[in-house]
């Protein structure tokens, strides 16, 4: 027990942010939600806005996000978080309002709410966790499921002729004048976590400017739904998700980034994955 | 704005009452026959006077969820729509009831089913008082039958909504929404200050100070035993409303042998039918229901002991009659008379139905 001697306040080099509660998260080991939660909470803490932040959680794996963030929180109906957040922000313009949604919630059932909140230029932060699958309900096809990717409802792989194309809603939102900041990040390596946190910080800081919606996609793995180990899932994400969902800023300060050409924005032929 | 006598549409009265009652926000989507609510608000620009927020949403799904978000912050937030739009809102309404969020919704009913017609109807009674969405819940449902009541009931609705932390539905129809009548307006009630909001809605998501734990607005409870306890709490609240908040008007019922039971536009028609009956020497009264939930069960049971029969008049195929019969325990003849699909019955045909079906 000698090593416990070093557990003293003066030796503390790292601690959980106070904006996260002590509740034990229900997320699967290997899932990106915990890291995504943490960097959002750290940004809220570092900006000193805990008493002014209102979060909106979705339906899906992160439905219980309100148990983990120590800020006022509302749980929206499936897909409706952007509408809920719109009114919170309009009626409480001094508050920092963010939504936290998965791909089924944001890009399937809530597509209209997402696009119209963005198109109105609501001064909110939207965090979008894209893992290409419905995690909570058991791994069914999401709008973001890759062509050829197996899921509970595409057991032989997603087929374009049956199921259409993977929806790159982040690129779509970047084309709307109401979005001020649009980026895609990941949290699967320490370096990416740092970049994602900087993006979240920018997305929250932008609310002070009142120039439109800030949208941060976090491309994430779902090792349970993908039926892989966490390490395999991260590798598979790099090899298959990232070519379809390239990381990096798409629109900054209301302008498309220089590297975002028409070819980058419009993917004519989505890459087909060789199935896991 | 001070108290004035004005000529206005029912829909306009709703909008003006929202501004005057200190409403913080309105989120709507156009649909006939109630679009004048949002049109009036947009023309009045209350954001420049009272600070009220008015926003046109992309759908009724969005507008009711904007109500859910805005009202969860402890502010007075309202919407309005008509039958097909109200059907779309049912998901939001059950979330609002499940999370116990005070808010006000107006339904100017039109004929259904489906896209139906844009003419007045009362065929959303079941949807309004039997839940409408999924789960065991109730909306406090109040039915104006004049433009003045459209105006006044907005004020009453806010009192009830916050007293019980429950959504309030103002259930009217296209006729009352569209007709113009005189209406006394009221002195403006200022919107709540920040301090009042926090005092009146300590449960709201208005930003967690260091002095309290975080407020969570949700209707989710994965633990069944806790969900049952919560449902029991909701039911206790509904029983209290049934005990304390029933409203109705009994006209010429003291000596009546027969009574009409009706609400809203149908009650207005029955008033004339009652006059015609009295002119013929028939002792006919009118029980005009004001609250449809809570339903005046006890009062109807009492009237059933005194009168020989009741005619339920509704612009539907017969929905409210089920509750009237249950309340009266079918102890006397109770029949339905109604037109639907957007047809409004005449006072004469209503009286004829009373004579044929009840008086005989």
Q: Chain A: give the shortest CA distance to residue B333, in Å.
A: 45
Q: Which pLDDT band, with edges at 50, 70 and 90, does A275 fall under?
A: low
Angstrom distance (rounded) from CA B107 to CA A192: 50
Residue appearing with tokens 């894209």: A130
Q: Which of B165, B196, B227 is the last residue of a domain?
A: B196
| H/E element, A150 | none
Same domain? For B16 and B149 the reply is yes
- Do B53 and A51 lie within an 8 Å CB cutoff? no
Specify if A275 maps to a domain: no
Q: Which pLDDT band, with edges at 50, 70 and 90, does B158 fall under?
A: very high
CB proximity list for B185: less than 8 A, separation 6 or greater: B1, B3, B4, B5, B6, B16, B17, B20, B151
Q: Which pLDDT band, with edges at 50, 70 and 90, does B1 fall under?
A: low
In angstroms, the Cα distances linking B193 to A171, B36, B50, B190, B214 are 41, 29, 11, 8, 21
Cis peptide bond upstream of B33, omega within 30: yes
Q: Chain A: give the shortest CA distance to residue B11, in Å.
A: 23
Chain A touched by B2 (CB under 8 Å): no
Q: Which of B152, B175, B196 is the last residue of a domain?
A: B196
CATH number, residue B110: 3.40.50.970
User: Is residue A276 pLDDT above 90, yes or no?
Assistant: no
Chain B touched by A77 (CB under 8 Å): yes
Q: What's the total number of domains in chain B?
A: 2
Q: Which pLDDT band, with edges at 50, 70 and 90, does B39 fall under?
A: very high
Specify if A161 maps to a domain: yes
Same domain? For B42 and B143 the reply is yes
Q: Which pLDDT band, with edges at 50, 70 and 90, does A9 fall under?
A: confident
* Nearest residue of A to residue B216, measured between CA atoms: A73
Q: Which pLDDT band, with edges at 50, 70 and 90, does A266 fall under?
A: confident
Please list every residue in chain B whose beta carbon sits closer than 8 Å to the beta carbon of residue A92. Answer: 73, 206-207
Specify if B235 maps to a domain: no
Cis peptide bond upstream of B294, omega within 30: yes
Specify if B203 maps to a domain: no
Mean pLDDT lowest among A259-268, B44-53, B199-208: A259-268
CATH number, residue A180: 3.40.50.970
- Do B218 and A92 lie within an 8 Å CB cutoff? no
Taking each helix axis from N to C terminus, what angle separates B60-72 and A81-91, rounded to the nearest 10 degrees?
50
Q: What's the total number of domains in chain A?
A: 1
Q: Chain A: give the shortest CA distance to residue B76, in Å.
A: 10
* Nearest residue of A to residue B90, measured between CA atoms: A77
Q: Which two tokens stand for residue A174?
A: 């970047």
Chain B touched by A192 (CB under 8 Å): no
Domain extent for B268: 249-359
Chain A touched by B74 (CB under 8 Å): no
Same domain? For B258 and B169 the reply is no
Compute the average pLDDT of residues B234-262: 98
Angstrom distance (rounded) from CA A8 to CA A273: 50
- Do A73 and B72 lie within an 8 Å CB cutoff? no
Specify if B204 maps to a domain: no
B140-142 vs B284-289, strand pairing mode:
unpaired
- Do B68 and A71 lie within an 8 Å CB cutoff? no
In this prediction, residue A259 carries a pLDDT of 95
Chain A touched by B70 (CB under 8 Å): yes
Specify if B112 maps to a domain: yes
Angstrom distance (rounded) from CA B252 to CA B260: 10
Chain B touched by A54 (CB under 8 Å): yes
Specify if A274 maps to a domain: no
Q: Using alpha carbons only, what angle is made at residue B153 by residues B217 and B99, rounded to the nearest 5 degrees?
A: 10
Angstrom distance (rounded) from CA A167 to CA A185: 17
In this prediction, residue A1 carries a pLDDT of 53
Chain A touched by B24 (CB under 8 Å): yes
Same domain? For B263 and B190 the reply is no
- Beta strands (DSSP E) in B103-221 are 103-109, 140-142, 167-173, 180-184, 216-217
Q: Is B213 exposed, middle or buried (0-12, 13-18, 19+ CB in 10 A)?
A: exposed
Which of B174, B190, B64, B165 shows the shortest CA–CA distance to B117? B174
CB proximity list for A70: less than 8 A, separation 6 or greater: A18, A19, A20, A21, A41, A50, B208, B213, B214
CB count within 10 Å of CB B63 equals: 28
In this prediction, residue B153 carries a pLDDT of 98
Please list every residue in chain A whose beta carbon sits closer than 8 Å to the beta carbon of residue B24. Answer: 91
Residues A149, A132 contacting (CB under 8 angstroms): yes
- The 3-state DSSP class for residue A51 equals helix
Indicate whether this complex's ipTM tops 0.90. Answer: yes
Q: What is the pTM of this model?
A: 0.96
Q: Phi then psi for B330, rounded to 5 degrees?
A: 55, 30
Same domain? For B17 and B94 the reply is yes
Specify if B100 maps to a domain: yes
Same domain? For B192 and B254 the reply is no
Segment B182-191, tens digit of pLDDT? 999 999 999 9
User: Is residue B114 pLDDT above 60, yes or no?
Assistant: yes
Same domain? For B154 and B93 the reply is yes
Compute the average pLDDT of residues B320-342: 97
Q: Chain B: give the shortest CA distance to residue A74, in Å.
A: 4
Segment A99-117, tens digit of pLDDT? 999 999 999 999 999 999 9
Chain A touched by B126 (CB under 8 Å): no
- Do A113 and B209 lie within an 8 Å CB cutoff? no
- The 3-state DSSP class for residue A157 equals coil
- Do B65 and A88 lie within an 8 Å CB cutoff? no
| H/E element, A149 | none
Q: Is A8 exposed, middle or buried (0-12, 13-18, 19+ CB in 10 A)?
A: exposed
Q: Which of B166, B181, B196 is the last residue of a domain?
A: B196
Domain extent for A219: 23-265
Per-window interface: A 113-132 vs B, CB < 8 A: 113, 116
User: Is residue A164 pLDDT above 90, yes or no?
Assistant: yes
In this prediction, residue A4 carries a pLDDT of 80
Specify if A223 maps to a domain: yes
Query: What mean pLDDT is reported for chain B?
Result: 97
Specify if B311 maps to a domain: yes
Which of B119, B117, B249, B104 shows the shortest CA–CA distance to B173? B119
Specify if A2 maps to a domain: no
Specify if B222 maps to a domain: no
Compute the average pLDDT of residues A24-53: 97
CATH number, residue B276: 3.40.50.920
In this prediction, residue B131 carries a pLDDT of 86
């Amino acid at each position: 027990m000698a090593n416990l001697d070093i557990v003293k306040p003066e030796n503390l080099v790292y601690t959980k942010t106070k904006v996260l509660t002590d509740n034990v998260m229900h997320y699967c080991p290997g899932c990106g939600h915990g890291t995504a939660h943490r960097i959002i909470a750290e940004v809220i803490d570092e900006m000193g806005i805990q008493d002014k932040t209102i979060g909106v959680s979705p339906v899906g794996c992160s439905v219980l996000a309100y148990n983990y963030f120590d800020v006022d929180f509302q749980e929206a109906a499936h897909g409706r978080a952007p509408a809920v957040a719109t009114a919170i922000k309009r009626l409480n313009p001094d508050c920092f309002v963010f939504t936290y949604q998965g791909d089924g919630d944001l890009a399937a059932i809530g597509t209209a709410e997402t696009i119209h909140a963005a198109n109105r230029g609501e001064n909110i932060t939207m965090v979008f966790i894209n893992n290409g699958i419905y995690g909570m309900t058991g791994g069914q096809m999401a709008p973001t499921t890759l062509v050829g990717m197996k899921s509970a409802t595409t057991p032989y792989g997603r087929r374009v002729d049956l199921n259409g194309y993977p929806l790159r809603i982040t690129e779509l939102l970047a084309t709307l004048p109401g979005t001020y900041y649009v980026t895609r990040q990941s949290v699967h390596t320490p370096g990416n976590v740092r970049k994602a946190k900087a993006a979240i910080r920018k997305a929250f800081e932008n609310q002070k400017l009142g120039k439109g919606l800030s949208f941060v996609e976090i491309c994430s793995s779902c090792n349970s739904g993908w039926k892989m180990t966490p390490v395999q899932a991260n590798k598979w994400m790099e090899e298959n998700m990232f070519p379809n969902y390239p990381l990096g800023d798409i629109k900054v300060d209301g302008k498309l980034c220089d590297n975002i050409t028409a070819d980058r924005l419009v993917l004519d032929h989505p890459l087909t994955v060789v199935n896991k | 704005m001070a108290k004035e006598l004005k000529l206005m549409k029912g829909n306009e009265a709703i909008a003006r009452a929202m501004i005057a009652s200190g409403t913080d926000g309105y989120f709507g989507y156009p649909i006939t026959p109630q679009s004048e609510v949002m049109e009036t608000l947009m023309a009045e620009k209350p954001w420049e006077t009272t600070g009220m927020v008015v926003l046109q949403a992309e759908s009724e799904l969005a507008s009711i969820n904007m109500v859910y978000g805005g009202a969860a912050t402890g502010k007075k937030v309202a919407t309005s729509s008509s039958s097909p739009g109200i059907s779309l809102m049912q998901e939001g309404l059950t979330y609002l009831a499940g999370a116990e969020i005070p808010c006000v919704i107006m339904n100017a009913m039109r004929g259904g089913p489906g896209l139906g017609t844009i003419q007045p109807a009362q065929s959303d009674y079941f949807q309004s008082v039997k839940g409408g969405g999924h789960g065991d819940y109730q909306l406090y449902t109040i039915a104006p039958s004049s433009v003045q009541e459209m105006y006044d009931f907005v004020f009453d609705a806010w009192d009830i909504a916050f007293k019980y932390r429950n959504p309030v539905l103002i259930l009217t129809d296209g006729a009352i929404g569209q007709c113009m009548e005189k209406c006394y307006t009221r002195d403006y009630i200022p919107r709540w200050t920040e301090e009042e909001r926090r005092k009146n809605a300590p449960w709201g998501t208005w930003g967690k100070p260091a002095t309290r734990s975080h407020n969570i607005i949700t209707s989710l409870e994965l633990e069944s035993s806790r969900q049952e306890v919560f449902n029991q709490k909701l039911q206790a609240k509904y029983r209290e409303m049934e005990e304390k908040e029933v409203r109705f008007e009994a006209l010429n019922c003291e000596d009546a042998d027969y009574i009409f039971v009706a609400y809203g536009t149908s009650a207005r028609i029955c008033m004339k039918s009652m006059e015609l009956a009295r002119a013929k020497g028939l002792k006919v009264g009118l029980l005009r229901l004001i609250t449809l939930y809570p339903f005046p069960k006890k009062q109807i049971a009492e009237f059933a002991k005194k009168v020989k029969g009741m005619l339920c008049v509704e612009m539907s195929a017969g929905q409210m009659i089920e509750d009237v019969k249950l309340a009266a325990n079918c102890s006397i003849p109770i029949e339905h008379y109604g037109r639907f699909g957007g047809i409004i019955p005449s006072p004469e045909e209503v009286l004829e139905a009373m004579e044929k079906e009840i008086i005989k």
